[in-house]
Amino acid sequence: MKFLRNQLDKVKHQFEKGGKLEKYFYAYEAMDTFLFAPNTTNEVKGSQIRDAIDLKRLMMTVIIAMVPCLLFGIYNVGHQHFLAIGDAGATLGQKIGVGLWQVLPIVVVSYAVGLGIEFVFAIIRKHPVNEGFLVTGMLIPLVMPPDIPLWQVGVATAFAVIIGKEAFGGTGMNVVNVALTARAFLYFAYPTDISGDVWTYLGDAQVVAGFSGATPLSVAGDASTNGNNVIAALNSFGTGWNEGVFTLQNMFLGFRPGSIGETSTLMCLIGGLILIATGTGSWKIMVSVFGGAYAMGLLLNLVGSTPYTQLPAYYHLVIGGLAFGAVFMATDPVTAAQTETGKWVYGLLIGMFTVLIRNFNPAYPEGIMLAILFMNVFAPLIDYVVVSANKKRRLQRATV
Amino acid sequence: MGKFIRLKKGFTINLKGKAAPKVVETDQPETFVIKPTDFFGLYMPKVVVNVGDTVKAGSPLFHDKKYENILFTAPVSGEVVEVKRGEKRKLLEIKILADKKVEFEVFKKYSVSEINNLGAAEIKDQLLQSGIWPSLVQRPFGVVADPATSPKAIHISAFDTHPLAPDYSILFKGQDQFFQVGVDVLKKLTSGIVHVNTHASSEISTVFSQVKSADVNKFSGPHPAGCVGVQIHHIDPINKGDVVWTINPLGVIQIGKLFLNGVYDTSRVVAVVGSEVKNPQYYRTYTGASVKKFIEGNLNQDHVRVISGNPLTGTSIGKDGHIGFFDHQVSVLPEGDYYEFLGWITPSAKKISFHRALGLLSFLSPASERVADTNTHGEPRAFVQTGVFEQVTPMDVLPTHLLKSILAEDIDEMEALGIYEVIEEDLALCEFVDVSKHKVQEILREGLDLVQQS
């Protein structure tokens, strides 16, 4: 390692003030601090010691928490592919092969575009490269359909990073979740590519007889519109080529079409446990999103009249992307409510809005994305109320 | 009647190199200094001695232009050898080459019954003349107390929860009588109560437990339970317009000695601690002592940082620096100016951390003592992680929002969010645990300065 350090020290002066490559100092710094934790020490006055944590480690922890979803997603893309083309005998290796072939390029494009923009902004604006995109760059592929054209991934990532984040001042300053901005961008800019039969990667192969690319949310919505029992419609879906794909158990495990990383509630829960155990994600937000969705589901059971509203409330926790959103999207500390009381309210409302949107807005079958973006915008308002309460307590104390 | 307050939030930083419970008597250091930079709220210190003057313990060295009656006096007798100034002639320290035996200025002596009949004006006069007055710290802002005010209460924290903190029952052993008289004297300066705040879970020294004419409160919980600002918040919080004084037990004892014996006696015990000290233990000396005698030949290695005070709020003073006015502790830690290959991700149980993020394993064995160095362990970033400051601040204060209001220089907001209730030490843990490595204490002082100037 000494050799590597020496090499870095040898070129360092060129990037420092007065050096030939002065402009690129922050690009150099990003590489240097990636390889070596810096040798900076604390100030003469103040805290002489510092906690071993830094933003890099924090972000890395979140990435690790996403790995179960990523790995399962890779497998599942292949698995769904072979089911859809009627090749039930495909081996595990074949499935993973197809999954990798489809998923890896999306991950690469997302990171390359996003980090590229981050570096350019860091150089122009003369600030250090922030670690925020390490997480965003993984989140974006996980919320994309496996069939998404790569150029769209690139455009969406660029839009999200530039308009969603850098326009506000970079990591820590953004108002709405960057990864969801990317997804929302595609949703509204290229609706045909992110709805309909995109949730299964088909390639050039011929689909099996009876194949349908519908998601549980659209199946439920359609059944409800036609006045049919929703659970029956879900359970009978896939007969002949993917038996029982939308049963409750199968949806919990995640062997179903959907965005790359969001299909398995189980994997999301594992990720959630990692976030909670390491203290990097707010358990309050996760619990309250699930709680809010469940509560709204129960409420609709009581007052609703369509078959969809009669869907048992726990179904809402496993279908669609609720679990993924609750664990990885809603807990983004920058865009969530920042007060502890506020986090409960914020999560609860996300859960409730998700189920509301699912039930009453057939144009957007998946409610979690819009619910989170909506609450991102309202999070400062929630905080404002909580902070005002704190101020009020102080004021009351003074006047008593 | 005292209160019993249980605090849950916080974090006790368990470091290696705690002092063995013995007080060593050695040759006294040669030089002692008084540093105006130890005191907040001074406008412009005016030196009243020249190099070459001889002084006694209690002879005035300087006073502030704003409060000319508050004298800052010599801690020991001897010859003034240096008046050190920095940029723009800012006064940094006044150095005294000490006599072998300390000679004292003579102040008026009182018997216990006479003290009971003293008025506030006479008491203030004696405190101001002797140089003990600056021990009285005024909240809000943590500045030298204004003699023209009368505080609503006086708070004395009788324990220290900072990393490597000295044991107060050793520091103030046998000073019961002086402490009692000191409390009696302070009682006359406030219309309210004198609070002595003790630690519930350790055996309380009789110095504090037996004290009369004061409320003895008990606190339990991790650091910062020992910080007087946290204690005030739970006993009798500071509101806008309130004035509260705080003083450490040493100051109280010095007041007792001043009135009973008629001298400004700054003799004190300091703990020399830290992982790099061979024999961490206590030494008897005087205020402002040079650390040289205590650490020479007593270090495990040379590449160290010598800190006056504790590792959370202290000041780096160098190997021949002098101990600050308010500090009972000299901490010696390894300097952290090294690169670490992939240091941001390598797992470690050695590095101390409040967090449990990937690879930070110190939470698994909180009871074992660790070595901490002065490395920043990362680079400064924008605020990202939330909710952490709140976990180490056992007060109804929102540190993140307060800090943001200071960065925005919004004085009304700072007031509304409770800037009156905190000074640096109360939020020092936030600086330690901060993922984004903000200089929390420096930011807070900027805010306090802004509010005072407004």
Q: Where do the H-state alpha helices sit in chain A? A: 2-15, 25-35, 55-84, 92-125, 132-142, 150-159, 178-189, 216-225, 230-236, 248-253, 265-277, 283-303, 315-318, 322-324, 340-360, 368-399
Asked if residue A147 and residue A109 are part of one domain, the reply reads yes
| Last-in-domain residue among A160, A193, A226 | A193
- For residue A226, pLDDT over 90 is answered with no
Q: Chain B closest CA to A1's CA: distance in Å?
A: 7
The whole-number pLDDT of residue A16 equals 84
- Give me Rg for the CA atoms of chain A: 23
Mean pLDDT of B362-388: 91
- For residue B369, pLDDT over 70 is answered with yes
| The token pair that represents B279 in the structure block | 């024999």
- For residue A180, pLDDT over 80 is answered with yes
Contacts of B327 in chain A (CB under 8 A): none
Q: Chain B closest CA to A52's CA: distance in Å?
A: 5
Question: Across chain B, what does the average pLDDT equal?
Answer: 93
Strand order in the sheet with B45-47: B45-47, B60-64, B71-73
Asked if residue A220 and residue A178 are part of one domain, the reply reads no
Dihedral of the alpha carbons of B302, B306, B311, B313, in degrees to the nearest 10: -160
SS3 call for A175: coil
Asked if residue A352 and residue A227 are part of one domain, the reply reads yes
* Confidence at A199, pLDDT banded by 50, 70, 90: confident
Question: Cβ(B196)–Cβ(B188) under 8 Å?
Answer: no
Condensed to tens digits (0 to 9), the pLDDT of residues B249-271 reads 999 999 999 999 999 999 999 99
Condensed to tens digits (0 to 9), the pLDDT of residues A291-345 reads 999 999 999 999 988 888 888 999 999 988 899 999 999 999 999 999 999 999 9
Question: Domain count of chain A?
Answer: 2
Residue B284 DSSP class: E
A29 falls within a domain: no
A335 falls within a domain: yes
Asked if residue A244 and residue A154 are part of one domain, the reply reads no
CB B381 to CB A35 under 8 A?
Answer: no
Asked if residue A228 and residue A140 are part of one domain, the reply reads no
SS3 call for B427: helix
Q: Chain A closest CA to B240's CA: distance in Å?
A: 7
Percent of chain B whose pLDDT exceeds 70: 100
Per-domain residue ranges of chain B: 4-261, 376-454
Residue B29 DSSP class: P
The whole-number pLDDT of residue B124 equals 94
Asked if residue A318 and residue A232 are part of one domain, the reply reads yes
Task: Quote the domain boundaries for residue A252.
Answer: 216-256+282-387
- The helices-and-strands tally (H runs, E runs) of chain B is 13, 21
Q: Chain A closest CA to B161's CA: distance in Å?
A: 15
B21: Cα within 13 Å, side-chain hemisphere:
6
A14 falls within a domain: no
The whole-number pLDDT of residue A311 equals 87
Separation CA A234–CA B38 (nearest Å): 73
CB B314 to CB A48 under 8 A?
Answer: yes
CB pairs under 8 A between A and B: 225
CB A172 to CB B381 under 8 A?
Answer: yes
Contacts of B163 in chain A (CB under 8 A): 49
Give the residue carrying structure tokens 């905190």: B422
Q: Chain A closest CA to B308's CA: distance in Å?
A: 10
SS3 call for B270: strand
CB A390 to CB B362 under 8 A?
Answer: no
- For residue A181, pLDDT over 90 is answered with yes
The whole-number pLDDT of residue A310 equals 87
* Confidence at A400, pLDDT banded by 50, 70, 90: low
Contacts of B224 in chain A (CB under 8 A): none
Residues contacting B310, CB < 8 A, separation 6+? B160, B162, B163, B164, B165, B329, B331
Contacts of A5 in chain B (CB under 8 A): 339, 341
* Confidence at A210, pLDDT banded by 50, 70, 90: confident
- β-bridge mates for residue A279, sequence order: none
Q: Chain A closest CA to B357's CA: distance in Å?
A: 5
Q: What are phi and psi of B364, to 5 degrees?
A: -70, -30
Condensed to tens digits (0 to 9), the pLDDT of residues B109-149 reads 999 999 989 999 999 999 999 999 999 999 999 999 999 99
Contacts of A173 in chain B (CB under 8 A): 382
Mean pLDDT of B182-191: 94
Q: Chain B closest CA to A34's CA: distance in Å?
A: 7
Question: Cβ(B186)–Cβ(B258) under 8 Å?
Answer: no
The whole-number pLDDT of residue A60 equals 93
The whole-number pLDDT of residue A128 equals 87
**B304-308 and B315-316 beta bridge pairing:** antiparallel
CB A49 to CB B432 under 8 A?
Answer: yes
A346 falls within a domain: yes
CB B442 to CB A128 under 8 A?
Answer: no
- For residue A379, pLDDT over 80 is answered with yes
Stronger pLDDT, B174 or A206, i.e. the higher one: B174
Stronger pLDDT, B106 or A24, i.e. the higher one: B106
CA closest to A48 among chain B residues:
B311
Which member of B358, B390, B432 has the closest CB to residue A340?
Answer: B390
Separation CA A135–CA A283 (nearest Å): 18
Mean pLDDT of B103-108: 94
The whole-number pLDDT of residue A93 equals 92
The whole-number pLDDT of residue B1 equals 67
CB B355 to CB A51 under 8 A?
Answer: yes
CA closest to B425 among chain A residues:
A46
- For residue A367, pLDDT over 90 is answered with no
Contacts of B348 in chain A (CB under 8 A): 52
A13 falls within a domain: no
10 Å CB burial of residue B160 (0-12, 13-18, 19+) is buried
Mean pLDDT of B85-91: 91
A353 falls within a domain: yes
pTM equals 0.93
- For residue A65, pLDDT over 70 is answered with yes
A307 falls within a domain: yes
- β-bridge mates for residue B72, sequence order: B62
DSSP letters spanning A235-257: HHTTTTTSTTTTSHHHHHHT-S-
Lowest mean pLDDT, pick from A25-29, B58-62, B112-116, B406-410: A25-29
- For residue B345, pLDDT over 80 is answered with yes
Which member of A171, A390, A398 has the closest CB to residue B240?
Answer: A398
Condensed to tens digits (0 to 9), the pLDDT of residues A87-140 reads 878 899 999 999 999 999 999 999 999 999 999 999 998 888 888 899 999 999
Which member of A35, A64, A282 has the closest CB to residue B342?
Answer: A35
Mean pLDDT of B35-56: 93
- For residue B421, pLDDT over 90 is answered with yes
CB B339 to CB A38 under 8 A?
Answer: yes
- For residue A2, pLDDT over 90 is answered with no
Question: Across chain A, what does the average pLDDT equal?
Answer: 90
- For residue A243, pLDDT over 90 is answered with no
